[in-house]
Amino acid sequence: MKNTALIKSKQAFNPFLPSYEYIPDPEPRVFGDRVYVYGSHDKFNGIAFCILDYVCWSAPVDDLADWRYEGVIWQKKNAPGNNKGFLNAMYAPDVIQGTDRRYYLYYFIGYNGYIGVAVCDTPAGEYKFLGKVKYADGIELGKKKEPLQFDPGIFIDDDGRVYLYTGFGPVNYPKFLMKGHKATKEGAMCFELEKDMLTIKGEMEYIGVPSKPCAKGTSYEGHEFFEAASMRKIQGKYYFVYSSFVGHELCYAVSDRPDGDFKFGGVLLSIGDVGIEKQACNSTGNTHGGILELNGRHYIFYHRQTNRNSFSRQACAEEIFLKDGHFAQVEVTSCGLNGTPLRGEGEYSAHIACQLYGKKGAHFYGAFKKRKGCCPYFTQSGKDRENNPNQYIANFCNGATAAFKHFNFDGANKIDVKVKGNARGVMKVFYDLNDEPVAEITIIPTKQNTTFSAPLKPKQGIAPLYFRFEGKGKCEFKSFELFKL
């Protein structure tokens, strides 16, 4: 974790939005002096992906801890042909400012739907339907037996040329969801658009980022294209970000041109830290996001899984580091956009844990499969809402571990944990799981939120905090607090 001299009164955490907000597929864009995040919109404890209307959040470019709710920007009912069923949800949008200075929102409706475009005079106003992406002859994209379109990514190059990226690369996907379409074996697709931002110019191009059937023997093998196309231009080169076939990682490819010859670059991030740790250290499932370049620094936005399924996902972000044109994989943290480790004192909500797993490891959350058993997970009390955040870790049972990364410690010597439940045992705290615990907090059953305390071995400098419960029963892990007495 990079340490800087940056000092702020308000800190940024992961997830960076209020914990009641479930925004997956985050695409960050800088318009004017603010960063805007566009994404799908999950419902807490929902029954399917992306079933709510699009909303937008923004923050000043110089304070990524100060996020403001911009409201609903595009409603499902305004999308032509949307029957409001969960299979016609709105997936993974992207927004770009056109050469006419207006803002264009690209979205996809349903597995058997279309790529539509809405337009607005402001980044986060009320978007109005413009049309469906179509060929010059007027036929809609997707109506000529092309591979299934999905997750549109939009990009305008320095010369004003407009490119649309799409693609969906499953294997043995249920036919009823494909509705007669085929998956894209050749991988990610690119369409150049006319200045109207709707009409396809020329022919479809495969950009050289293959799906699983065509990746054998290539550098993409093991990291094949699945979905989540996102394009950025950085230092004169084109960086294509995508979600790989394994789901839990975001990868990238690089080219000298926007419409082909892409070469595999590597993994940017795994939401389970696969590739950094020996095994997944967090619940895995799909993820999706894009790169933000801001003030000479780069960040990868992504989403994490919560609530033991894939339908309550939350936006997170990490700083990534470019060296000689290459991004190395970074770990997930609790302080992604903060610019510096968190302060080693004060109270922290347990929902900002960046690693969370049980005695037998972490679960994979596939679509329509809710996991059970003794494995901790993030959840909230009550129903889906737009206020009163109270997310916490549930099912914190014997062997459960939560990690928080990273803190800049300055001699904190006491630690509290706030829990609720029938757990009886010891909450052990570590700076390093390979060393002895630095605090041991006795936990007894309690029917209400209760604080338990213990001395903490002081430390100077940057380190993570790990919490591991050993005992019987289970508790709801609400928060912890560090003191320097």
Residue 282 has what pLDDT?
Answer: 94
Residue 328 has what pLDDT?
Answer: 98
Residue 146 has what pLDDT?
Answer: 84
Domain 27-327 and domain 347-483, same fold? Reply is no
Nearest to 107 by CA among 204, 25, 209: 25
Write down how long the chain is: 485
DSSP β-ladder status, 225-234 and 115-120: unpaired
If you search the block for the tokens 């209020």, which residue do you land on? 18
Which residues have a catalytic role annotated?
Answer: 25, 227
Q: Which residues of the chain have pLDDT under 50?
A: 1-8
Residue 429 CA to residue 426 CA, distance in Å, equals 10
Nearest to 420 by CA among 362, 454, 456, 379: 379
CATH number of the domain at 27-327, out of 3.40.640.10, 3.40.50.1100, 2.115.10.20, 2.40.30.10?
Answer: 2.115.10.20
Per-residue pLDDT tens over the stretch 173-207: 655 555 666 677 899 999 999 999 999 999 999 99
Per-residue pLDDT tens over the stretch 348-359: 999 999 999 999
Residue 185 has what pLDDT?
Answer: 83
> Does residue 469 contact residue 423 with C-beta atoms inside 8 Å?
yes
Half-sphere exposure of 224 (CA within 13 A, CB side): 22
**CA-based radius of gyration for the chain:** 23
Residue 71 CA to residue 127 CA, distance in Å, equals 12
Domain range summary for the chain, segments of one domain joined by +: 27-327, 347-483
Per the omega criterion (within 30 degrees of 0), is the bond before 351 cis?
no
Residue 84 has what pLDDT?
Answer: 63
Domain 347-483: CATH superfamily is Galactose-binding domain-like (2.60.120.260)
Residue 474 CA to residue 477 CA, distance in Å, equals 9
